[in-house]
Amino acid sequence: MLLLFCSSSHAWYGKTHLAIAQRAGYRYWYNAAAADIARLKAADIEQYNHFVNNKRGAKITPQAVLAQIKKYDSPRDRKGHLYGAIVGSLRHYINAKKEGAFAEDHMAYCVHYIGDLSMPLHNIEYSPFNKRYHLNMDGILEQKVLDNLSEIKIEKITIKTEDELIKEICRVANISMELGFRLEKENRMMTKAEAYRQISMSASLLKAVIEYANYMTHR
């Protein structure tokens, strides 16, 4: 039941995903919430792409991310495989682009997963604390985030290889997981300042991923 509830919840609400995509300069920013819409009908195929139920004390490593890639879209991995979904969806985009096929649907999923990556409660176990606070934390910035894009700070990140991408995924995941467990220990909501710092990491990574994808498909 806990897993079912988690799979039906969001990691940031729609406007927050749109704000991350806009701030990163994603041309099709209006598609950034599409992956959550898809879950209404895609169910098990899609829902486990949005989170990872990490235990306290876990450390996200490149090896862990690589192991998740083959689980992308798998309905059997109920622990979740968000990190592998980022890489898997980007691979689909790059391959489709090189083949001359329409690729933007794949990128829309990748954009959404990168947004999910910075949501602390999508990086920790779905505990009673997570269940109690999840929906409120998802929507903490929703009301005014599109009017406050300047609060989303872009850090320069350069990605030239998939290995570098995976290292960045690990970095953001570990920071997000640590914050999630700290919030649980302190039994409190995330502050808006903390939330903006989190989505700034997603926007910065997304900007770098867009540049990397363009490099890979035009070289």
| Mean pLDDT in residue range 2-23 | 76
Would you state the pLDDT for residue 113? 98
Q: Tally the C-alpha atoms within 13 A of residue 23's C-alpha that lie toward its C-beta.
A: 27
The Cα 105–Cα 83 span in angstroms is 18
Quote the distance between the C-alpha of residue 198 and its chain's center: 11
Would you state the pLDDT for residue 9? 59
Domains and their CATH numbers in the chain: 2-218 (1.10.575)
pLDDT for 132 beyond 60:
yes
User: What backbone phi and psi angles, to 5 degrees, belong to 18?
Assistant: -65, -40
pLDDT digits (tens, 9 = 90+) for 74-95: 999 999 999 999 999 999 999 9
The Cα 97–Cα 219 span in angstroms is 12
Q: Is 167 exposed, middle or buried (0-12, 13-18, 19+ CB in 10 A)?
A: middle
| Mean pLDDT in residue range 34-63 | 95
Rg of the chain, C-alpha, whole Å = 16
DSSP notation for 2-48: HHHHHHHS-SS-HHHHHHHHHHHT-TTGGGTTHHHHHHHHHTHHHHT
Would you state the pLDDT for residue 11? 85
- Please state, rounded to an integer, the average pLDDT across all residues of the chain: 95
| Mean pLDDT in residue range 109-125 | 98
Token digits of residue 175: 């920071």
The Cα 53–Cα 205 span in angstroms is 22
Q: What's the pTM value of the predicted model, to 2 decimals?
A: 0.95
